[in-house]
Amino acid sequence: MLETQSRADDQPVVGEREADFSAIDKVAVIEALARVLPVGALMYEVEDLRPYECDGLSVYRQVPLAVALPASEEQVVAVLRTCRELGVPVVARGAGTGLSGGALPHARGVLLSLARFNRILHVDALARTAVVQPGVRNLAISEAVAAHGLYYAPDPSSQIACTIGGNVAENAGGVHCLKYGLTVHNLLRVRGVSIDGEIVEFGSHALDSPGYDLLALITGSEGMLAVATEVTVKLTPRPQLAQCVLAAFDDVIKAGDAVAAIIAAGIIPAGLEMMDQPATAAVEEFVHAGYPLDAKAILLCESDGTAEEVAEEIARVREVLAASGATEIRVSASEAERLKFWAGRKAAFPAAGRLSPDYYCMDGTIPRKRLGEMLEAIQAMEGRYGLRCINVFHAGDGNLHPLILFDANQPGELERAETFGAEILELSVALGGTITGEHGVGVEKINQMCAQFASAELRQFFRIKAAFDPPGLLNPGKAIPTLNRCAEYGRMRISGGELAHPELPRF
């Protein structure tokens, strides 16, 4: 077996070149799907397709050939088998809150909505696990297990809306993931359906499984390897108490150094967030969190655990912040005050929305020690692109969310915002980081993948995809750029003469 594959190794891998789906016959696809789906589970009239034309990144829009709304695993199997037989692309969709166009429909494909998979199947309070369908909302899990003193730890800001299936597909994070981990650290098992319509179990209710760690590969795979139909998550005991420290700094570099100092002191806070002055000003006007407006940066540092533990940690944090030159330190004295401290941070996106008709959220991650350089570079870019940018930052784990403000109705602004964003992402790579910490590549960052990975690595991604999805029908064209595309993008960037920071090493 291995011998023949070795000879075939010189052949291009499926997906490595743009696939041509133009021959797909819409009528035949709809007829075939109508045979396997009940009435009401298939839509193909344009007005019914509109609500599905984009995800949270609404600058990309596309209506699919059809939308399938299966309610059972058998129906998912049937849809996938049908699409496999007819060679039709399939794009899975949860709540459509993704910020990288991962759930953007394929023009010649079926959009497979998991919205009807909305049941919590089983909660085992003793073992601290919950088995849920993929369309269950992130927050609904924590609500359902609250009576047992448990919760599901990863808490993306979109948690009232986003689904656990979408969280698995994006490896979503939240403000507490420095201490409690990302989605990948809080999953035990994913049950999925392959493009062949076969049911595959990834992981188990034990802490490990025989063979390769396929659960890790599935997590963050942006719906390109299998469609999840069931997920088992780990539940975490709710801490007795949480308290938050708000610290102000007269200099962003000092604030960045304070973050490093907290960690160097052996403290892993439950949350550690930073906002720059424009971001603070934007949210303050909106939610009146009482943030100091003269500060160049503020830090929010949360401690949780038993009352004794929190008191000990907060004392240590205060000491470190004072030594790092904080101009003001406030500790939340009540749960209401703690929530008020957080209200501002959590309102960053809506606040950006009030400041500007449109905003574009970036997601690069960098080593924390490069934060100062990054913020200075962003400031210079604001001048160059003539656009404003406010910065919120998951400082604890180096994940930066610059929000670029623009007005899509002004000719050229969207394009400038996109180039601005691309430059931030490429600088993230050059500083030793990555183009996406938690929002995924989708269609949005596909060109920047060319800056982060070499051809041999991209080809290896296509081989991995083909190991799960040999015909290349699951979410084709997303997340991994074809080599042609990278060659073209490289030419464009260099001929445009705006290769950022040519002195920095490129990977």
The interface with another protein within residues 37-66 (CB under 8 A) comprises none
Q: Which pair of tokens denotes residue 464?
A: 């991995």
CA 453-387-361 angle, to 5 degrees, is 50
Segment 2-41, which members bind another protein (CB under 8 A)?
2-3, 5-6, 8-9
Q: DSSP label at 306?
A: S
Q: Which pair of tokens denotes residue 219?
A: 């997590």
We find the least distance from the C-beta atom of residue 3 to another protein, in angstroms, to be: 8
Q: Whole-angstrom Cα distance, residue 450 to residue 445? A: 9
Q: Which pair of tokens denotes residue 32?
A: 């075939």
Residue 441 contacts ligand FAD per CB under 6 A: no
Among 82, 142, 221, 324, binds another protein (CB under 8 A): 221
- Residue among 33, 50, 51 at smallest CA distance from 42: 33
Query: How many residues form the binding site for another protein (CB under 8 A)?
Result: 104
User: Residue 124: which of ligand FAD, another protein, none does it interact with, CB under 5 to 8 A by kind?
Assistant: another protein
Among 24, 33, 66, 222, binds ligand FAD (CB under 6 A): 222
Crossing angle of the two packed helices 371-385 and 413-430, in degrees rounded to 10: 160
Neighbours of 506 (CB within 10 A): 12
User: Residue 149: which of ligand FAD, another protein, none does it interact with, CB under 5 to 8 A by kind?
Assistant: another protein
Q: Whole-angstrom Cα distance, residue 229 to residue 332? A: 42
Among 16, 55, 155, 170, binds another protein (CB under 8 A): 170
Residue type, 435: I
Among 81, 116, 369, 416, binds another protein (CB under 8 A): 369
Is residue 106 within 8 A of residue 64, CB to CB? The reply is yes
Residue 261 contacts another protein per CB under 8 A: yes
Q: Which pair of tokens denotes residue 205?
A: 């209710």
Segment 292-321, which members bind ligand FAD (CB under 6 A)?
none
Residue 335 contacts another protein per CB under 8 A: no
Q: Whole-angstrom Cα distance, residue 154 to residue 63? A: 31
Nearer to another protein, 213 or 415 (CB): 213
Which span sits near ligand FAD by CB under 6 A: 14-22, 45-53, 78-86, 165-173? Answer: 165-173
Which span sits near ligand FAD by CB under 6 A: 26-34, 121-129, 172-180, 456-464? Answer: 172-180
Among 255, 435, 473, 474, binds another protein (CB under 8 A): 435
Q: Whole-angstrom Cα distance, residue 100 to residue 478? A: 10
Nearer to another protein, 211 or 502 (CB): 211
Burial 5-26 (b: 16+ CB within 10 A, else e): eeeeeeeebbbbeebebeebee
Is residue 111 within 8 A of residue 52, CB to CB? The reply is yes
We find the least distance from the C-beta atom of residue 39 to another protein, in angstroms, to be: 31
Among 30, 86, 260, 281, binds another protein (CB under 8 A): 260
Nearer to ligand FAD, 64 or 256 (CB): 64
